[in-house]
Chains A and B, each alone.
Chain A
């Protein structure tokens, strides 16, 4: 090496490292995860742009043409596309978040053990859980924004408040994702539990949470699925902000509170299972 360096820099004192890690540790891990996602950047961009395009095109040009011809009163008196689009945005956020909270968590603990690198640094396991949540939130934020912009292009966002769909999407995604993360962190071996969740939890929720038609049109005996489903609460909030759907104020509060409680509970439980698992 013939290169002349102006000054050789030194690491700061361990006390400084520890103090910074205590304060910013979650952000450091978020940064790491986001860098990791860059490896999948093409996939992420293609799905973020491709999904809404496919959904909105098939709904807007396909299904909506037939539905709108029947002059149904079920869809808030607006075009079917505008009715379905906010729920599709929220659904796609929930599905992305669910995936990011299952396989990558198992990967961190077991498959490639990525969590165990930072584990021996000044970070603590709870910060890994939080950093993971934060990184996935960033991904959801980007995905929901792209979805929203495509909705605008399709003329499917009617209210001036429609941009609020972006935070609603992130909130609903996390309400489903963080409890799932706590669960994923607690299982020792992946015996297809994740595919079971995809098939028997996520898929039914997608179909029975008032995504394609209002929950009230379902038999009363099945409406409870919507009430416990973060997706339904997210869908209702989404329609409220996107098309100005009528919803009593108390119910709006219930939607927001239900989702927020799930997010907080999920994070608390996830931090606990991360700590328990890693510090044994």
Chain B
């Protein structure tokens, strides 16, 4: 896998990227490469610098220092050329509500100077892809959140981009709408589109990303595939036990020696272990009876907690 990746062309290359607002370093020396066809994720809490990094890649924010290369172009000096290669799904939908659904696609395609005959055909194709065929003539404000998001993704594909940037693609959507969206993104991945996405959802990162960087306070904390990161920074399983908010802290010392490591959160205690059921048995044998207990597979959330001491979603 790694060999294949090395052979593929790099489409994005960032070196020591820095973006400063006043005396605040939103992005503080980030470096990474994305080969063609990869799904690359930036995982981190709100304010970690993910969106700023995306905006620099998209050439809509100029970096303070560092090097950035998109398809051999520098977004600072060749903004229009760089953006012509990209499809961009912004964090906040900015569809034109005065236009009908299909017209949103066509008008957007005009920004790439695309001819009308192509746009008519492509718009229908994309409406089908976004499962919005029967909404073609609908008003944008009549669409649900998930539909708007799919329309925004369809819009970003109007120029047949090879690289798609997605900033928090499923934030604010209900679970079902998220799954529909993930399915669409999978299809793009299968078609060979390079996906770069930011998310603060660990399940999204695990589902969609071949490789990711964990970002916090503008810096990269770790880099790797979701499985590798979990293997490296967490145990196989996690046992979550709750003793009630006022008792959790008091119980922690009595759990000493259970599992590989303990993490006490305000509402629950996490026990990192390779055998969740076994650890739960151990706890019960010590005469402790948690109000609730749950054994789950370790996730990127645990990786993040380990690396930063904080949780991803607050």
The residues of A with any CB-CB pair to B shorter than 8 Å are 1, 5, 8-12, 14-22, 24-25, 28-29, 31-32, 35-36, 39, 112-114, 116-124, 278-280
A8 CA / B62 CA spacing, docked (Å): 38
A and B contact pairs by CB, cutoff 8 A, 14 listed: A5-B121, A11-B118, A11-B158, A11-B159, A18-B81, A18-B83, A21-B80, A21-B84, A21-B113, A28-B113, A112-B97, A121-B84, A122-B80, A122-B84
Mark out the residues of chain B between 36 and 67 whose CB falls within 8 Å of any chain A CB in the assembled complex: 58, 60-62
Q: Which residues of A contact B110 (CB under 8 A)?
A: 28, 31-32
A119 CA / B96 CA spacing, docked (Å): 13
A35 adjacent to B107 (CB under 8 Å): yes
A12 CA / B112 CA spacing, docked (Å): 9
CB distance from A183 to the nearest CB of B (A): 23
The 8 Å CB contact of A120, one of B58, B71, B81, is B58
A120 adjacent to B159 (CB under 8 Å): no
B61 adjacent to A20 (CB under 8 Å): no
Q: Which residues of B contact A123 (CB under 8 A)?
A: 80, 111
From A108, which residue of chain B is reached at the shortest CB distance?
Answer: B94
Known: A21-B111, A118-B111. A10 touches B84 (CB 8 A): no
A113 adjacent to B94 (CB under 8 Å): yes
CB distance from A43 to the nearest CB of B (A): 12
B96 adjacent to A36 (CB under 8 Å): yes
A20 adjacent to B108 (CB under 8 Å): no
B79 close to chain A: CB less than 8 A:
yes
Q: Which residues of A contact B71 (CB under 8 A)?
A: 14
Known: A17-B159, A119-B60. A1 touches B128 (CB 8 A): yes
B95 close to chain A: CB less than 8 A:
yes
Known: A11-B118, A21-B84. A120 touches B107 (CB 8 A): no
Mark out the residues of chain B between 148 and 197 whose CB falls within 8 Å of any chain A CB in the assembled complex: 155, 158-160
The residues of B with any CB-CB pair to A shorter than 8 Å are 58, 60-62, 71, 78-81, 83-86, 88, 90, 92, 94-99, 103, 107-108, 110-114, 117-118, 121-122, 128, 155, 158-160
Known: A11-B112, A279-B60. A120 touches B83 (CB 8 A): yes
Q: Which residues of A contact B81 (CB under 8 A)?
A: 14-15, 18, 122
Q: Which residues of A contact B90 (CB under 8 A)?
A: 116, 120
A279 CA / B293 CA spacing, docked (Å): 50
From B109, which residue of chain A is reached at the shortest CB distance?
Answer: A11
B88 adjacent to A120 (CB under 8 Å): yes
B113 adjacent to A24 (CB under 8 Å): yes
The 8 Å CB contact of A113, one of B58, B78, B85, B92, is B92
Q: Which residues of B contact A11 (CB under 8 A)?
A: 112, 114, 118, 122, 158-160
A116 adjacent to B94 (CB under 8 Å): yes
Q: Which residues of B contact A15 (CB under 8 A)?
A: 81, 84
Q: Which residues of A contact B118 (CB under 8 A)?
A: 9-11
A122 adjacent to B96 (CB under 8 Å): no
Q: Which residues of A contact B128 (CB under 8 A)?
A: 1
From B133, which residue of chain A is reached at the shortest CB distance?
Answer: A1
The 8 Å CB contact of A117, one of B62, B83, B108, B121, is B108
A22 CA / B71 CA spacing, docked (Å): 19
B80 adjacent to A18 (CB under 8 Å): yes
A24 CA / B112 CA spacing, docked (Å): 10
Q: Which residues of B contact A14 (CB under 8 A)?
A: 71, 81, 84-85, 159
Q: Which residues of B contact A20 (CB under 8 A)?
A: 112-113
* A20-B113, A25-B80, A25-B111 given; 17 more Cβ-contact pairs under 8 Å: A8-B121, A15-B81, A18-B84, A19-B113, A20-B112, A35-B99, A35-B107, A113-B92, A116-B90, A117-B95, A117-B108, A118-B108, A120-B88, A120-B90, A121-B111, A279-B60, A279-B62
CB distance from B108 to the nearest CB of A (A): 6
CB distance from A240 to the nearest CB of B (A): 39
Q: Which residues of A contact B99 (CB under 8 A)?
A: 35-36, 39
A121 adjacent to B108 (CB under 8 Å): yes
From B87, which residue of chain A is reached at the shortest CB distance?
Answer: A120
Q: Which residues of A contact B85 (CB under 8 A)?
A: 14
Question: Which among A5, A25, A116, A121 has the highest number of chain B CB atoms within 10 Å?
Answer: A121
CB distance from B159 to the nearest CB of A (A): 5
CB distance from A139 to the nearest CB of B (A): 14
Known: A18-B84, A112-B97, A113-B92. A28 touches B121 (CB 8 A): no
Q: Which residues of A contact B107 (CB under 8 A)?
A: 31-32, 35
CB distance from A1 to the nearest CB of B (A): 7
